Structure 1
């Protein structure tokens, strides 16, 4: 699981496209939320703003139609005063460097073994995530996958902070994959999220991993019969448990 990146063959010319989500798929939790919590905790006044915003922004995060707006409030609080994407990238690198053990403990061994097997087979593997791509890349470096393409939420200056200007989420995830050059059909998609239904429905072989318990019936209804619904080690999530 910890090979050097050079140990993996380059994708074959006819390689199938395999797309992995990141949060609750390769990583146990929401990596972006963990990052922005740390960004907010850097200063007492950011924490105060977050407390004041929580009664209206918190419930928005819980519902898909308003999730982006709710998250954006906390992202703005965590990044107000930043003006360039590279400013946020520098803070991401500092966050990851300062939380190595905690982050490594959240990487899911079963997921990483599946990820490794696809790379070893010469498949065209890409990570598509709602988190900033610099965050996913930095975390994947821990397990020698820093060279895997990552398509993620694009950020830039906005309202005196650094915020999402193109959110890699729901149908936009498919658009951003195509814009990044991944135009072939998706052979296999791995994700936990109902927000990724467009990705799962586009895949020849969708695989649901670590779903919320309340989403399982919906996945069984809208995805092809026999679609695997697995649990790769998220204790608080549903799915058929896979032995490590």
Structure 2
């Protein structure tokens, strides 16, 4: 049976979860766009041709967004409306349900559900398209949780991020939607340092091994750094 959760009170504490590598083992947006590219030989060829230029850009944090945008453009060329794109997302999620379910992290979902049972105000803030996160969360009966994600619209004959829910912009998008003081924030990424620093109790989950020491330096002493089941990631087993 589907579990029901109490409606959070107006004064309930706010808990913010990142999505990729936090609730989901991997980068959900990259999986979607890779599927879109692979299913069309011309898109595959185009992706191969741009990789010498765009591949190195993806590898570096300052240029990653620009590098990814090239692949997103190839993956979505011919789509002209957000509604079309959301329909493709729903098609992808339905077609890959077993694989996607397997990537949802049980320990993370336990913590997620525990906050909801406690009556906390829970929101997901992700760089992925919000429709993608919502569709995946629907598999585990959390489709009613608010999702703040990257806004997508038409761009040069394809779809692109008109506003990327990332770094400081993620905080601005949360504030614009009425989310104020953050009690607890969960994320894997140094890109979410503004979110983690804004939280009374930041929790780092599934960080890259190479970033663990950095998180310990820049976040308050005693900040928990946990691993919720991402085998290739760092953090203390939870």
Shorter-chain TM-score range: over 0.9
- Aligned pairs for 1:219-238 within 5 A: 219-238=215-234
Which residue of structure 2 lines up, in the alignment, with residue 149 of structure 1? 146
Unaligned runs of 5+ in 2: none
TM-score between both structures, scaled by the size of structure 2:
0.98
1:181 paired residue number:
178
Instruction: Look up the SS of the partner of 1:169 in the other structure.
Output: coil
**Local SS of the residue matching 1:204:** strand
Aligned residue pair count:
238
The correspondence for 1:46, drawn from 43, 48, 56, is 43
Determine if the alignment matches structure 1 residue 191 to structure 2 residue 161: no
Aligned to 2:162, what secondary structure does the other structure show? strand
Distance 1:141 1:240 in 2: 29
Distance 1:95 1:17 in 2: 31
Q: d(CA) in 2 for partners of 1:57 and 1:169?
A: 20
Q: In the alignment, does 2:160 pair up with 1:163?
A: yes
Partner of residue 210 from structure 1, selected from 203, 206, 220: 206
**RMSD, matched Cα:** 0.8
Identify the residue that residue 135 of structure 1 maps to in structure 2. Answer: 132
Q: What is the distance in 2 between the residues matched to 1:112 and 1:140?
A: 10
- Report the equivalent of 1:3: 2
In the alignment, the residues of structure 1 paired with residue 140 and residue 23 of structure 2 have an alpha-carbon distance, to the nearest angstrom, of 11
The unaligned stretches of length 5 or more in structure 1 are: none
TM-score, normalised with respect to structure 1: 0.96
After TM superposition, give the deviation of residue 42 of structure 1 in Å. Answer: 2.1
State how 1:27-38 maps to structure 2 within 5 Å. 27-38=24-35
- CA distance in 1 between counterparts of 2:2 and 2:219 reads 34
Q: Secondary structure at the match of 2:226?
A: strand
The correspondence of residues 60-75 of structure 1 with structure 2, limited to 5 A, is: 60-75=57-72
> Post-superposition, which runs of at least 4 consecutive aligned residues in structure 1 deviate over 4 A?
none
Q: Cα deviations across residues 191-244 of structure 1 (Å, max 9, x unaligned)?
A: 0001101100111100000000011111000000000000000000000011xx
**How far, CA to CA, are the matches of 2:58 and 2:175 in structure 1?**
27
CA distance in structure 2 between the partners assigned to 1:147 and 1:115 by the alignment: 13
d(CA) in 2 for partners of 1:38 and 1:179? 33
Distance in 2 between residues matched to 1:141 and 1:107, nearest whole Å: 11
In 2, are the aligned partners of 1:64 and 1:195 still within 8 Å (CA)? no
Once the two structures are TM-superposed, the CA of residue 168 in structure 1 deviates from its matched residue by 0.3
